[in-house]
Amino acid sequence: MHIPVESYHLPNGLHVVLSEDHTAPIVAVNLWYHVGSANERLDRTGFAHLFEHMLFQGSANVEANEHFELVQRAGGTLNGSTWLDRTNYYETMPSHQLALALWLEADRMGRMLPAMTQQKLDTQRDVVKNERRWSVDNQPYGTWWERLPSLAFPEGHPFNHSLIGSMEHLTDASLDDVAEFFRIYYTPDNAVLTVAGDFERTETVRLIEAYFGPIPRGSGRPPLRDMQLPPTFGTTRKEVVPDAVVLPRLFVACRTPVFGTDAYYAASLAAAVLGLRTGCRLEQSLVRRQRVASQASAFTYDLAKGSDLLVIDATAHPGVTPDQLEAAVLAELEVLAQHGVTEDEVTRARALIETSFTMSLQSAAERADQLSRFATYFGDPSLVNTQVDRYNATTAADVSAFARTFLGPDNRVLLLFVPADEPPAEIAHELEEATA
C-alpha cells in the first residue's frame, strides 16, 4: 500500500503535509506540536499535559468548550493526547467542514493567549489533578507508567519524570508560567499540520495559507537536557511496590535502540514474538501451559530520542506468588536472549505488524497521525511508505542478534507490584472470590 504524500513549509516554519484520498467523504486534520513532558522544567512538570486541556478552553474568537461544540455540531469528532516528546490535536470531519477544523486549529495556535484567564487555569488544573487521582493514585497498578520510566531513565533525564506531573507543581503553576510555555512551544515552526482524506488540494492550500500564514514563528525552543545514555543498563534493577491489588503484576523493561534505526525493527519484532496476540511466546507458555499468568504482553515505547524501551507486562494467575511470576517471565526472556527466534516466529510477527499497520492507514485519522509522526520525528512524512519494507528487511538472525545484545540480565529493570499486607476490605473480598 502506497500513501500519497505532499509536504511543504510555510514561511513561518509550519510543516504542512497533505495526503489525498477520495474513497470516503471524510477528512482528518492532525496537528502535532514537538513538545511533551521531556521539554518541561523539573520544577514545573505536567505542563505539556495541562496544555492539552487548556487548548480546549477557547481562544480569541472561540469561547471555552466551543471548539468541541462546533466540531460535534458539524458532524465531526476531536480530541488530543500528550506523550513524552509530542502533543497532538485532531479532528475528523465531513469533507465540506474542513475549513472549520483548520480555522479552529489556527485560532488557538495564533490567538490563545488573549483568552487565557486565571479562572480557566484553575479549573483545568483541578481537572488534571482529578485525572491524576483517578488514573494514577487511586487506580490499581496505576503508578506503573511513571514508576517504570523513573527506573529506566536516570534522574534529570528528560524521560525520567511523570508525564502527568506532580500535584505540587500543578499547584505552583502561575498564569505567567503557562503563557511562557505557550509562547515557546505552541508556534508554527514547532508544529506539523497534516490533512488527510477527501479534500480539494488548491482550496486546502489556500485555506492553510490564509489561516496559518499570518501566525509569526517562535523565537526558538530551548534544547532538551542531555538525552545520551549507555546502550544498556549494565545490570538488573528492581523495585517492589506493595499496592491495593489482588494479583502480583510484573513489568520488565530493557533499554533498546530508538525508533527509526535498523535495530529498532529487530526490537519491535522481538516484542511481537514475545507478546503480540495469542500465538506469542508469553501467552502460549505463561498463560496457557504453565498457568502462572492471567495475561502477558510485550511492546516497545517507540521513542525516537535517546533510548527506547522494550517492555514485558505480566499479571499473575490467582494463587501464583510474586516470586513465581518473576521467575517464569525472566525464564522466557532468558530463552529468547540465549537461543534467539525461529524463522516461523518472525514471519508471524511481520504478518501481524504489517496487517495492523496497513489496516490502520485505511482510516483518514490514523493516516494523518502517522504522517505527522514521521514529519515531526524525522522531517519526512513519506517514511510512512517504507515501514513495511523495513520490517521485511529485518531477518530472524537480526532479531536473534538483538536479543543476545539487549535482552540479557545486564539490561533489565523490574517493577513488581505485590498485594499489600492488609488490603482494603473490598480488595480482600475480590481476592477471596478470585482464589475460590
CA distance 307 to 258: 5
The CATH superfamily holding the domain 6-212 is Metalloenzyme, LuxS/M16 peptidase-like (3.30.830.10)
Per-residue pLDDT of the chain (436 residues; tens, 9 = 90+): 799 999 999 999 999 999 999 999 999 999 999 999 999 988 889 888 998 899 999 999 999 989 999 999 999 999 999 999 999 999 999 999 999 999 999 999 999 999 999 999 999 989 998 988 888 888 999 999 999 999 999 999 999 999 988 888 888 888 998 899 999 999 999 999 999 999 999 999 999 999 999 999 999 889 999 999 999 999 999 999 999 999 999 999 999 999 999 999 999 999 999 999 999 999 999 999 999 999 999 999 999 999 999 999 999 999 999 999 999 999 999 999 999 999 999 999 999 999 999 999 999 999 999 999 999 999 999 999 999 999 999 999 999 999 999 999 999 999 999 999 754 444 444 445 555 4
* pTM for this predicted structure: 0.93
Burial 251-285, CB ≥16 within 10 A → b, else e:
bbbbbbbbbbeebbbbbbbbbbbbbbeeebbbbeb
Q: In CATH, which of 3.20.20.140, 3.40.50.1100, 3.40.50.300, 3.30.830.10 is domain 235-435?
A: 3.30.830.10
Beta-bridge partners for 194: 17, 30
Every domain of the chain and the residues it spans: 6-212, 235-435
| 6-212 and 235-435, same CATH topology | yes
